[in-house]
Amino acid sequence: MIVVNLDVMMAKRKMTLSQLSEKVDITLANLSVLKNNKAKAVRFSTLEAVCAALDCQPGDILEYVPAGDGEQ
């Protein structure tokens, strides 16, 4: 399973969801879906914009957790 650690990176950068939404020009609702691990897919353009805004790498946001090790 892929876990999205967007909230962790936002906390490290001291950035709110609304601030990130403004920087990447993505709706709060869509970012919230991503942040809460409810997204079924992520566009590379979205991932690129989020990484640019948070000054991080995709691996800082996305994490692979083998089956049975994460929340179900």
Residue 72 has pLDDT above 70, yes or no: no
* Phi, psi (degrees; rounded to nearest 5) at 46: -70, -45
Residue type, 58: P
Percent of the chain at pLDDT > 70 equals 94
Predicted TM-score (pTM) of the model is: 0.85
Distances (CA, A) of 43 to 51, 57, 58, 59, 69: 12, 15, 12, 15, 26
pLDDT digits (tens, 9 = 90+) for 36-65: 999 999 999 999 999 999 999 999 999 999
Residue 10 has pLDDT above 50, yes or no: yes
Instruction: Report the largest interatomic distance among the alpha carbons of the chain, rounded to a whole angstrom.
Output: 36
Averaged pLDDT score across all residues of the chain: 92
Phi-psi region of 33 (alpha: psi -120 to 50; beta: other; left: phi over 0): alpha
CA distance 39 to 42: 7
